[in-house]
Structure 1
Amino acid sequence: MIYIAGVDIGNNTTEVAVAQVFGKEDVRFLSSSMVRTVGIKGTLRNVMGVIDALDQALEPLGIARKQLDVVLLNEATPVIGDIAMETITETVITESAMIGHNPATPGGWGLAQGRTIRLEDLKTASAGGDSWVVVVPGTVEFEAVARQLNEATARGCKITAAIVQKDDGVLINNRLSSPIPIVDEVKFIDRVPVGMPAAVEVAQVGRTIEKLSNPYDIATLFQLDPDETRQVVPIARALMGTRSAVVIKTPKGDIEERRIPAGKIILIGHRQRVEVPVDEGADAIMAKAATVYPLEEVQAETGTNVGGMFEQVRQVMADLTDMPVSAVRVQDILAVDTFKPQQILGSLAGEYAMGNAVGLAAMVSTQKLPMQRLARKLEEEIGVRVVVGGVEADMAIRGALTTPGTRAPLAIVDVGGGSTDASLITEGREIHSTHHAGAGDMVTLLINTELGLENFDLAENIKRYPLARVESLFHMRHENGSVEFFREPLDPRLFGRTVVLTDSGAVPVESKELLAKIVAVRQQAKRKVFVRNTLRALERVAPAGNIRLVSFVALVGGSGLDFEIPKMISDALLEYGVVTGRANVRGTEGPRNAVATGLVLAFAQEYQG
């Protein structure tokens, strides 16, 4: 009899299964554990997490590390995802400055034009003549602002609108003898050019602006030619859906334009080489990738956006594995169409435009060398023989077969943090597996990007947990429409906000997007990555590429515990007549621990006693 520990190092978690092995058919599992992976999967930093997971699994058994006969590691392939923009990386508008950040308290409503003028200069402005858009700094109180505007109006000055730094739009407008549209909360008030033509639009409550979100209306207001109209398209796009906006024509040459091309992806197979421009979109990229089989390497055009992304991925992996950059290869990609907020330089309140983008998950192949290094390092630390046991997908299917109610032919899908793995075991016990880039980390990246959160932890929570809207201190409306009431008042800071219902409590979402929009972004991201990659992987391992010839599909890994993914994948496979569900490894572990369990079972088959 020997003690065996199977260790599955994933992108997000490290799992352990400890067992006694008496013979090929006599394996008794004793315990299991799971901890967060330390460092990027497949690197030396993983050793700390593995030791922690081993200790947690051995503690209830009263077994010391040195009593283990062998520790088995999975073959872990690092996967890194990044975003490559389809459009320009830096949107800079020539001869225009704009504001349109949808402040909560604009004043008045309507569309107005005039020339910008500082509040302090209004005293010397002549009566009659030009119409004025008054620029108000945050150093002046709202009552003094309203008084000065009323005095100028009484003197005969034509004041049509105002741009205010503080959130005083309503307070000022309520005190004016002649109400005007006012846009407030303009952070960079000092950047507003003076003496230049400007247009201000404020919509009524519950509506959005119409004129300044249309490039042709902007062209009409400022008498632009066709080339200038093309330049203001990003302005109009950025202002769509806002309640208030300002567009100012700046002096020629104040702001310049710079563009960086998206570039091309180069797909290299055994006998063919295919190039596909990133700006053709994800569908075109994946369609071309499907024609190159086997896909040996993916490269990118140098000096472009996607080229920079690939070089960064290679450099990171080279640094982590002590390998030369030339030895690091991108072996597979997943491309997904998405949107990314583009900061508009020349804007005055941190505005952005949503630009089309292609999200790319790149799977980096570093062969077995890093795992062998990791095994040697772990062996030195714990004083126990460490062996790289087998390919993840092969091991996962051995573990999944311990799920009650399954039999061969069985396919498993393991959607992890960085990659999607699939394996098929035939009735003759032959195993076919595949390994594809793109999984949970890619979904988090898409959510973070499309919602403009700049907070990966929040994006991860949005991916993992349902949402709700706190409508009062005593009730919230869940994303499915149900209402939950509370005996004790909720945290007042949550009132009127969208929250993520995590295991540790409600976490507010720092976004102005509506609940329905956030839910839609989350579900679309999961379908684009999880469902698409699942079908892609199953087609690769299914007999003759026909998923209908697969009888059972079991979901393993953390994604199997997700509150949405199993149903999404089940719905996608419904037309194929496949029995689909979460695995229940060893009848006790649910979808977790499949790879660690499979490592132990595979080793037992070779055990000679």
Structure 2
Amino acid sequence: MKFVAGIDIGNATTEVAIAKIEDGNKIEFVSSGIVKTTGIKGTKQNIKGVIDSLNQALEKCSTDIENLGLIRINEAAPVIGDVAMETITETIITESTMIGHNPSTPGGIGTGVGITVDIEELESIKNNNTVIVIILKKVDFEYAAKTINKYLKKGVNIVGAIVQRDDGVLINNRLDKVIPIVDEVTLLEKVPLNMKAAVEVAPQGGVVEVLSNPYGIATVFNLNAEETKLVVPISRALIGNRSAVVIKTPKGDVQERRIPAGKINITGIRRTSVVDVEDGASKIMEVVKSTVSIEDIKGESGTNVGGMFERVRQVMSKLTNQDFQSIKIQDILAVDTFVPQKIVGGLAREFSLENAVGIAAMVKADKLQMQIIADELKNKLSVEVEIGGVEAEMAILGALTTPGSNKPLAILDMGAGSTDASIINKNGEISSVHLAGAGNMVTMLINSELGLNSFDLAEDIKRYPLAKVESLFHIRHEDGTVEFFEEHFDPSIFARTVILKEGNLIPINIEASIEKIKMIRKIAKEKVFVTHCIRALSIVSPTGSIRDIEFVVLVGGSSLDFQVPQLITDALSKYGVVAGQGNIRGLDGPRNAVATGINTRY
């Protein structure tokens, strides 16, 4: 009798299954372990996570490392996700500065067009001038209101105000005349003076109409057709806002800069195909699908997508000590998305949503690199270590330990970085595929489209249900049901959208509604998981048709997602396929499939 440990190094977690081997081939599984993967999958940094997960599993079965006869690890191909922009790096704006950050409490109502003047310099303004007053944070709201009223009585035509503090309503309530007031402008000191400006505040519940329309801006500033074309990014950024400001600046103040999206070169056995990122994700994936046996994928030099692929190679070269040129990319997943881009010339840190293509790239698995990890483990633990096999093939062997499963069978192994599919026939013959893109790609899309700048927050939005705090004692769940609580909530989360994570209410501090967050999350999961799973099953199907597959078992960490299994089950039901979550060894749910499968091949 001896103990064997199967180890699956994943992009997010490292999993262990320990089995007791008797009489040469009788296998009895005794425990499992799981920890967060250390470092990028397929690199020497993984070793700490492997040892931690192994110790966890050994402790569960009261066994020491000295009792292990063999450790078997998976072949690991790392996956790195990134975004290749279509409208690149800087929004194009010429001769304009804009503000449209949608403060929660602007003052007044209407549209005003005039020359920008500091409120403390109104004395120098002639009575027939039309002005927009600039009120910096050093100016008290009572003083500001009194000053505006004073000069209105003197005949100065004040038609709007831009305020640095959160004083819009306070000033408006003290004025003798209703004017549009935009407040909370962070960088107000940078607003150019004596320049023509337009200020617009919509009524409660409304949105700006003049400044969100490029022809409205053209009317205000007397622009020609070419100039109107250049202000389209400004008007797009202001769509849906309740307040906005546009200021015409001296020629040359804001420069135009472009970096092209670039082309992707996909090299197969027979030919190299070229596709432009600007053609979109569906065209990119069409070319990927039509390229037989991809050997490498590169981006056009000097472009955004070229830089992305080069970063992937640089990261992997540094981590694995391999030559930069020897790093080959074997698969990509491209998804259409949107990315908030900072507006050049913006004075309240404004952003505009620009079209983008999200790309996950998979580096070709390197057995030599995995052998380095195996040798390092052997030296550290004094236990024999070998490479156990391809993940997708091992996963299907692990999935067959699910109660009620049998050959023939197909599996979808959905992890953090990759989606694997494999199929086994009645004779035990296995066909498999290993594709880039899974849970991390979904998180990246949520992070980008909501402008969160927090991978951890985006991960929580992906994994947990949402709710709206409607009072200090009750919430409305995203499915519409209401839940009441005996203890009141922290007042800071009142009226906020929150994440329901392990009994805690975590606020999402962005302006997006719960409906928008739900929509972005669902669409991201459909773009990655549903589309990708159909692609993967089509590849491994003996006939190329999903309809010829009867049963599919869902395994991997992303199968634990509260939405993904249902989305995939619904999608596959249209093909007459029965799909459901696996339960490895009847104990671990959809987890531990690869680690278990490695041991079944002992």
Report what 2:588 is aligned to. 589
Secondary structure, aligned partner of 1:563:
coil
Residue 354 of structure 2: aligned partner = 355
Task: Tell me by how many angstroms 1:24 deviates.
Answer: 6.2
Post-superposition offset of 1:62: 2.1
The answer (yes or no) to whether the contact 1:411–1:554 under 8 Å persists in 2 is: yes
Deviations 1:104-136 (A, max 9, x none): 1100111111111111111221212x2000010
- Counterpart AA for 1:326: Q
Kindly indicate whether residue 595 of structure 2 is the aligned counterpart of residue 562 of structure 1.
Answer: no
- 1:357-392 deviation per Cα after TM superposition (whole angstroms, max 9, x unaligned): 000111111421221111111111111111111111
The residue correspondences of 1:415-454 to structure 2 (distance < 5 A) are: 415-454=414-453
1: CA distance, partners of 2:260 / 2:326 = 27
2:579 and 2:389 map into 1 onto residues whose CA distance is 25
Q: Return the letter of the residue paired with 2:44.
A: L
Residue 343 of structure 2: aligned partner: 344
Partner of 1:111: 111
SS in 1 for 2:162: strand
Give the equivalent residue in structure 2 for 1:165: 164
| Residue of structure 2 in register with 1:98 after alignment | 98
Give the residue type in structure 2 aligned to 1:80. I
Partner of 1:138: 137
Q: 1:300 corresponds to which residue?
A: 299
- The amino acid that maps onto 1:336 is V
Give me the whole-angstrom Cα distance separating, in 1, the residues matched to 2:472 and 2:216.
44
Q: Could you tell me which residue of structure 2 aligns to residue 458 of structure 1?
A: 457
Give the drift of 1:226: 0.8
User: Which secondary structure does the structure 1 equivalent of 2:193 belong to?
Assistant: coil
8 A Cα contact 1:132 1:159, kept in partner: yes
Instruction: Write the distance in 1 (CA, Å) between the matches of 2:105 and 2:280.
Output: 39
Q: In the alignment, what sits opposite 2:226?
A: 227
Structure 1 position 406, deviation (Å) = 1.4
Deviation at residue 504 of structure 1 after TM alignment: 5.2
What CA distance in whole angstroms lies between the structure 2 residues aligned with 1:303 and 1:363? 22
1:122, 1:152 within 8 Å by CA — same for their partners in 2?
Answer: yes
Which residue does the alignment assign to 1:606? none
Post-superposition offset of 1:510: 2.0
One-letter amino acid of the counterpart of residue 423, structure 1? S
Quote how far apart the aligned CAs of 1:92 are.
Answer: 3.9
Q: Is 1:369 aligned to residue 357 of structure 2?
A: no
Q: 2: distance between equivalents of 1:43 and 1:25?
A: 32
Deviations 1:445-475 (A, max 9, x none): 0000000000110000001001111111100
- Alignment partners' CA distance in 2, 1:568 and 1:367: 34
Report the more deviating stretch, 135-144 or 24-33.
24-33
C-alpha displacement of 1:60: 2.8
Contact 1:327 1:366 in 2 (8 A): no
- Distance in 2, Cα, partners of 1:371 & 1:263: 33
Contact 1:38–1:49 under 8 Å retained in 2: yes
Distance 2:119 2:464 in 1: 49
Runs of 4+ residues over 6 Å off in structure 1:
none
AA in 1 matched with 2:127: A
Please tell me whether residue 387 in structure 1 is matched to residue 365 in structure 2.
no
**Matched letter for residue 282 of structure 1:** A
The answer to whether the 8 Å contact 1:73/1:389 transfers is: yes
- Give yes or no for the alignment of 1:26 onto 2:31: no
- Report the more deviating stretch, 303-312 or 53-62: 53-62
* Residue in 2 that maps onto 1:50: 50
Deviation readout 1:120-159 (Å, 9 max, x if unpaired)? 111221212x200001000011000000000010111000
Q: TM-score normalised to the size of structure 2? A: 0.99
Q: 2:283: which partner in 1?
A: 284
Deviation string for 1:56-109 (max 9, x for gaps)? Answer: 111132211011000110111111010000112211411000000000110011
The answer as to whether partners of 2:76 and 2:365 remain within 8 angstroms in 1 is no
Partner of 2:84: 84
Q: What SS does structure 2 have at the residue aligned with 1:81?
A: strand
Q: Aligned partners of 2:367 and 2:3: how far apart in 1?
A: 25
Output the CA distance in 2 between the equivalents of 1:427 and 1:88.
Answer: 51
Residue 551 of structure 1 and its aligned partner are, at CA, apart by 1.5
Unaligned runs of 5+ in 2: none
State the one-letter code of the partner of 1:318: S
Distance in 2, matches of 1:290 and 1:45, equals: 33
DSSP-derived class of the 1:20 partner: strand
Q: Which residue of 1 aligns with 2:64?
A: 64
Q: Taking every aligned residue pair, what percent have the same amino acid on both sides?
A: 56
- Per-residue deviation, 1:23: 4.3
| Partner Cα distance (2:551, 2:490) in 1 | 46
Query: Could you list the per-position Cα deviations for residues 288-326 of structure 1 after superposition, in whole angstroms to 9, with x for gaps in the alignment?
Result: 111111222111100000000000010000001000110
Q: Give the CA deviation at 1:25.
A: 5.2
Which residue is equivalent to 1:10? 10
Letter in 2 for 1:78: P
**What's the RMSD between the two structures over aligned residues?**
0.9
Q: When the two structures are aligned, how many residues end up with a matched partner?
A: 602
SS at 2:534's partner residue?
helix
